[in-house]
Amino acid sequence: MEYTKLAQLYQILEETTSRIKMTQALVDLFKETPPELIDKVVYLSIGRIAPEYTGLDYNFSEKSAIKALSTVLNISEHDIQHQVLQTGDLGDAGKKLYEEKGVKPEGILTVEEVYRTLREIAQTTGYGSTKKKLQLFTELLKKASPLEVKYLLRTITERLRLGIGDNTIMDALSIAFTGKKENREIIERAYNISSDLGYVARILAEKGLDAVKNIKIEIGRPIRPMLAERMAIPSYILKKLGGKAGAEYKYDGERIQVHRKGDTFYLFSRRLENITDQFPDLIEFLKESIPEECIIELEAVVIDPSSGAIRPFQDLMNRRVKYVTRFHIMMYPIAGFIFDIMYLNGEDLTLKPYPERRKILEENIKITERINLSERKIVDNVEDLESFFHQAIEDGCEGLVCKSLQKDSIYQAGKRGFLWIKYKRDYKSHLADTLDLVVVGAFYGKGARTGYFGSLLMACYDPETDQFKTVCKVGTGFKEDDFKKLDDLLKEHTLDHKHPRVNSILSADIWYEPFLVLEITGAELTLSPVHTCGWDRIKINRGLGLRFPRFTGRYRFDKRPEDATTEEEIINMYKNQIQIKS
Ligand code: ATP
């Protein structure tokens, strides 16, 4: 299959903001793709070379890309840089220069060759790797047409930004291979237990939908996490859960999914990055505690070993370094509170109800000084729930996660639902919880903030339309260090236009690719004529906005933009708030 087909798709996707057109373009391409290539086409279309959990990245700088261009075009790097400044984008600059120079491709690029070479680039590490990567990429450029050059340059520098998310790909796969969008649910379940969209696509294309139904949990492939809904009134929580709930401490730490097979361990973060190397100490503790072949979930916190008391979340952040040393292990001792088990000795437990999973945990976990089960109490009245909540706060937790005890209380991989309800109380505001919002734009600062942003435009995520919809402009809560830090973080992701997946009425001074999630608090949600979250859902021509928004200081690096608070959650929070007020 010729790579130019993919480049043409990218062009169509780039030129449209209509999700229907995007999906159709993908459907057309998937239908044309040979089944053995579909996984590669999926990875390349989402700007990756392999699923995120493998951690495989190109690690190829813009400087190297310019060097490669300079070799092929035989012009100076300085001249190329000049062109990049003029066009504002490396891909566009490369395309323009290829056209101007009338470069004749030295062959035809195929998807196979592009994928193989890009993968080799990603896998090349260590001494001399920069040179080898450069050579490999230069060879690709020699065979490329101007349009292909544009997208190869964007791909290798990880700036493809086509505006398609997992949901759009799943819709397109469902339509292309089963003729119906409705079968997406089956595809989604397979994705939720494998976290590998390319793999699911390949099984679908080669073996059909029944084979997708048979995709099984495997050690080493993360399961997408089950998520909780939120409610602010204990009596409603109990009612929603059928009068009785398993209330567990909500530890304020880092969620870790642990996979074990014998001495092999894989640790995955909430956003499913492989973080095995970050916690050698935790692995040693787990060796003593958990079964030889299992997948469990725990919340890791830093403790004071002499008292067992939980230390603040900030201490755990000090463990988020590239290389964990003995110093970190000594200074920030880790403990794990296990709260779920999804797999044991070859058996998938995700479809078993929570009380059964909890029982299996209790029977199979050895409690030690550093590994324990989450503190839990079965509650069936408001008083007990309230007092357990206060006990949790006292013990350094954020509140409770109240879990359904009903027959249908399965582990809902990749879903946020009311089988788990979190109860965190923010006494100062009507809001039942903080929001995790994505930075999509910024407005210039004035006075002391000249040169930095004055406020950031923040958005929630809507999985239905695969879009980011604005909720507030936040300009308070930032400390001195935050301005520089945010500037550095965001610089790389600046766009000269609104990102295709951002739905905004406000016109920001600077637009960003949605990637950074920040925790935002505020006074209350109100109807808004300028914010697009919940547009027309509560009132015609109105959305929902957050009043007096403030950055809490917490960067949610553990969340992908698609893990931000969803539009539906905000609508529910608004409805709850009205109920509380009245
Ligand atoms: P938050 O932003 O409130 O931390 P979240 O968006 O990361 O939440 P939610 O699903 O909304 O995720 O809340 C559940 C989170 O609470 C889990 O991701 C997990 O990290 C944490 N947690 C702590 N203790 C427990 C527990 N006992 N059971 C389930 N989750 C727990």
Which domains, from first to last, does the chain contain? 48-157 (1.10.3260.10), 227-423 (3.30.470.30), 435-581 (2.40.50.140)
Q: State the chain's mean pLDDT as an integer.
A: 92
Q: Is residue 96 annotated as a catalytic residue, yes or no?
A: no
248 Cβ closer than 6 Å to some ligand 1 atom: yes
**Is the ipTM, as predicted for this complex, more than 0.85?**
yes
* Secondary structure class of 294 (helix, strand, coil): strand
339 Cβ closer than 6 Å to some ligand 1 atom: yes
Whole-Å CA distances, 318 to 60, 252, 297, 312 = 28, 14, 22, 11
What's the rounded Cα separation, in Å, for the pair 34 and 46? 18
Per-residue pLDDT of 297-351, as tens digits, reads 999 999 988 777 888 888 898 888 888 999 999 999 999 999 999 999 999 999 9
111, two tokens: 């998807």
Nearest to 561 by CA among 28, 21, 27, 46: 46
- The residue-averaged pLDDT of 380-400 equals 90
Per-residue pLDDT of 111-142, as tens digits, reads 999 999 999 999 999 999 999 999 999 999 99
Q: What pTM, to 2 d.p., does this model score? A: 0.82
Nearest to 333 by CA among 307, 298, 304, 295: 304
Amino acid 454: pLDDT = 84
Active-site pick, 95, 250, 403, 424: 250
422 Cβ closer than 6 Å to some ligand 1 atom: yes
299 Cβ closer than 6 Å to some ligand 1 atom: yes
Report the separation in Å between the CA atom of 228 and the middle of ligand 1, taken as the mean of its atom positions.
Answer: 7
- Could you identify the atom of ligand 1 that is nearest to the CA of residue 519? 2
